Amino acid sequence: MLKGTWKSLGLVAMLALIMVIAACGSSDEGSGSDSEGNGEDTEQSEDSGSDSEGSSESGDITHEGEIELVYVEWATEIASTHVIGKVLEDLGYDVTLTPLDNAVMWQSVASGDADGMVAAWLPNTHGNLYEEHSDSMVELGPNFEGAKIGAVVPEYVEADSLENLGEYGDEFNETFTGIEPGAGVVQATEDAVETYEGLDGWSVQTSSSGAMATSLQEAYENEEPIVVTGWSPHWKFAEMDLKYLEDPEGVYGDAETIETMVREGLEEDMPGAYQVLDNFKWGEEKFNSVMSEIQAGTSPEDAAANFVENNQDLVDEWTTME
């Protein structure tokens, strides 16, 4: 009995050992399978991380931040500044448009208090201010070419040149109707008074661009003689039949450009806004359309919004990021 019992116990023990070994083998295989599965998951995770990294370095420019554009309250600058301001606003920027005197406008960009302007008349009108401040700002080039300044009269007056204007002194009350004191076209007109012999005793009456335009309109409606400090592009040439007086001495200089100037560091701080301002360029027909709408009574904000809505192809050119 005892001997048979031990044999039975031995057989049981052997079977138990076989079961343990089998169980351990099965466990190891399962563990190995899980390990291989985890390895595949790890590779997928690494690939996913690679995709994520590629997305974060896509180079897309985000349009956000506060930007201030400054301008002088001339018809041209009211129109252009509101148009480009609307474009920047639609992209997502918080835009402030601030009207300033000529000298303060240049100083604010040079000092970094303002971000930029699309209102620099060069080389003559703002020539002195450019020489003073250009080293402290970034010049992006012309946004309009073919601008002009000079002495402007209605087509119906007989005078056609600064050389013979003095012959009609009594009709014009020996007065040029000017704009803001210190404006380049006013300074050039003061130079004309000194340069042309027939203008001895003439004066330049300064006021504002709006007051000049009002005086011109009133005289034009009554067919009265008037000579103003003028420039183009300007809505007055679309609304009235006007002419520049010839300037054989070249006091008013050659054709000018209207240029865009921005503060130093804008490209690093807001590359998207910098690119839009650098892209901004348009022609006289587009320019005059906005000025004429404002002159007709539309607010600058609404006129700018209308232009942007109706000229999306041009706006797309301005907002293309390189």
User: pLDDT tens across 132-151, in order?
Assistant: 999 999 999 999 999 999 99
Single-letter amino acid, residue 147: A
Gap between the Cα atoms of 113 and 68, Å rounded? 9
Give the number of other CB atoms < 10 A from CB of residue 244: 19
- Helix (H) or strand (E) holding 53, with range, is helix 2-56
94 three-class SS? strand
pLDDT at 303: 98
The tokens for 102 are: 């000529």
pLDDT tens, position by position, 183-195: 889 999 999 999 9
Residue 65 CB burial class (10 angstroms; 0-12, 13-18, ≥19): middle
DSSP class of 109: H
pLDDT at 223: 97
What domains, with CATH codes, occur in the chain? 66-147+255-318 (3.40.190.10), 148-244 (3.40.190.100)
Gap between the Cα atoms of 204 and 227, Å rounded? 10
* Confidence check: pLDDT of 231 > 60: yes
pLDDT at 147: 95
Count of H helices and E strands in the chain?
Answer: 13, 9
Contact between residue 172 and residue 225 where contact means Cβ atoms under 8 Å apart: yes
The tokens for 295 are: 């002159």
pLDDT at 104: 97
Give the number of other CB atoms < 10 A from CB of residue 227: 27
> Quick one: what percent of the chain has pLDDT higher than 70?
82
Residue 68, beta-bridge partner list: 96
Listed residue (310, 320, 248) closest to 278, CA to CA: 320
pLDDT tens, position by position, 79-106: 999 999 999 999 999 999 999 999 999 9
Match 């005793």 to its residue by tokens: 201
Residue 209 CB burial class (10 angstroms; 0-12, 13-18, ≥19): buried
Residue 205, beta-bridge partner list: 177
Gap between the Cα atoms of 302 and 319, Å rounded? 20
Residue 258, beta-bridge partner list: 121, 144
DSSP class of 314: H
pLDDT at 46: 38
Residue 96, beta-bridge partner list: 68
Mean pLDDT rounded to a whole number for the chain: 85
* Confidence check: pLDDT of 27 > 60: no
Phi/psi zone of residue 253: left (φ > 0), alpha (ψ -120 to 50 degrees), beta? left
- Over range 231-237, report the average pLDDT: 93
pLDDT at 238: 86
Match 């420039």 to its residue by tokens: 231
Q: Give, in order, the Cα–Cα distances in Å from 163 to each of 9, 151, 155, 262, 276.
A: 137, 12, 17, 40, 44
Q: Residue 42: which pLDDT band, with cuts at 50, 70 and 90?
A: very low
Q: Residue 251: which pLDDT band, with cuts at 50, 70 and 90?
A: very high
Residue 318 CB burial class (10 angstroms; 0-12, 13-18, ≥19): buried
* Confidence check: pLDDT of 297 > 80: yes
Gap between the Cα atoms of 96 and 100, Å rounded? 13
pLDDT at 10: 44
Q: What is the pTM of this model?
A: 0.74
pLDDT at 17: 43
H helical segments located in 222-299: 236-239, 266-269, 271-279, 284-295
Gap between the Cα atoms of 32 and 24, Å rounded? 12
